[in-house]
Amino acid sequence: MAGPLVGYRVLDLSRILAGPWLGQLLSDLGAEVWKIERPGTGDDTRQWGPPFLKDGESNDTTESAYFLSANRGKHSICVDIATEEGSAIVRALAQQADIVIENYKVGDMSRYGLDYESLRKLKPDIIYCSITGYGQTGPMKDVAGYDMAIQATGGLMSITGESDDMPGGGPQKVGVPIVDILTGMYSATGVISALLHRERTGEGQHIDMALLDVQVSVLANQNMNYLTTGTPPKRSGNAHPNIVPYQVFKTKDGSFVLAVGNDQQFRKFCATAGLTELAADIRFRTNTDRLHNRDQLIPLLDVHLVKQTTHHWISLLEPVGVPCAPINRLDQVFAHPQVIHRELQINLPHPSGAIAPLVGNPIKFSKTKIEYSKSPPLRGEDTEHVLKTVLKFDQAQIQRLNESRIVDTGTHPRRSSPRRLE
């Protein structure tokens, strides 16, 4: 048995990242995902390069790395939903689907008869997930939402980056579109929960997901730091607002993370690092003491830790259970023995003729193991196949629709046979 969602069908009307991330996750779990794209151009992120996937001769293909990151396992169907025939095709596909994903502006889908109220009349048990920047309701419902703007509006940038009085101080965004990704993940939880509800009751439902809602909800302890005190937390760089020492320290040849999570670990750290006197110092005995006296403790650690190399501290502290880590670049990450063992990089034959290096799903099932059988698709790669097999269109119908640009059966050059994996 491969994937717990085998047998379910997903109509993915989304583009960019949050919706596609949800669609890719559902595909990994075994669902059949039909990705609807614009004829001629496809998903916006197909143009977000370089970098692009390289073929066997190290030449660029037309497949952007960004698009590859969020569209594994999907079937690309290019249909112009702005046309009457195009929207009718998508409505027909919706009637064959269990789940619909869309991330258009509020109200846009109703123009094409593809909104939840229209589709539930055709398929009452449909599960319909809408993803927008600010939600389907409220004073900002019509404002377009972009990840960085949400990081700013939702408070994440106010607590990310060095403090204003430090070199390079000021607000920073997270290094990946974290709000989009987390929204995709929360949406997966909502969709799968709605599937369970449907299994029990036969009822479908509309799921209203907003990037801002997700952003605010995931601030976790920082939310509570504010709500319990009334004082907004400030940026403190890599330092933790509630634990000391828990930050980056410089070493003789670089830097490393020291993440002391409790008083026992602090005593163990001091004993191992040759700082026994600090564990006995009344200023630093408990985490609360260390928080109150952070400005006195950190300079003492700075002076001591910079005397030795990163490898020295990691090899000394890790074996005794003091949480610490080197700060790896991505080349070091994918060469790491644990990352290799966990099979986090996968390689799939791509229809362009290249081998696509991809990142595996982190979920490890004991029974329904995730299988990867399909690379991120070429634009329109599966249009003809799905129209024939799902909607029973004949070749003449498909040719007419293709010639009138209502659908796009794909115009990318392909190699006759993809390279085999070694």
Among candidate residues 12, 180, 213, 408, the one labeled active-site is: 180
Q: Which token pair is 62? A: 């037309």
Is residue 43 flagged as an active site residue?
no
Give the separation between CA 93 and CA 360, rounded to whole angstroms.
Answer: 28
CB neighbour burial string for 369-387, b if at least 16 within 10 angstroms, e if fewer: ebebebbbbbbbbbbbebb
Q: Are 415 and 104 in contact (CB under 8 A)?
A: no
Judge if the upstream peptide bond of residue 50 is cis by omega within 30 degrees of 0.
yes
Give the separation between CA 380 and CA 195, rounded to whole angstroms.
Answer: 28
Choose among 138, 132, 134: nearest CA to 116: 132
Give 288: exposed, middle or buried? Use CB within 10 Å, 0-12, 13-18, 19+. Answer: exposed
Choose among 215, 216, 219, 211: nearest CA to 16: 211
Residue with tokens 């990142």: 359
Please give the biggest Cα pair distance in the chain.
84
Q: Which residues pair with 157 in a beta bridge?
A: none
Give the separation between CA 119 and CA 91, rounded to whole angstroms.
Answer: 7
Q: Which residues pair with 326 in a beta bridge?
A: 256
Helix (H) or strand (E) holding 255: strand 255-259
Q: Reduced to 3 states, what is the DSSP secondary structure of residue 188?
A: helix
Strand arrangement, sheet containing 246-250: 246-250, 255-259, 324-326
* Dihedral angle sign, alpha carbons of residues 392, 24, 195, 11: negative
Q: Which token pair is 231? A: 């004082």
Give the separation between CA 349 and CA 179, rounded to whole angstroms.
Answer: 30
Helix (H) or strand (E) holding 79: strand 75-79
What is the Cα Rg of the chain in Å? Answer: 26
Q: Report, as residue numbers or ranges, the catalytic residues.
A: 180
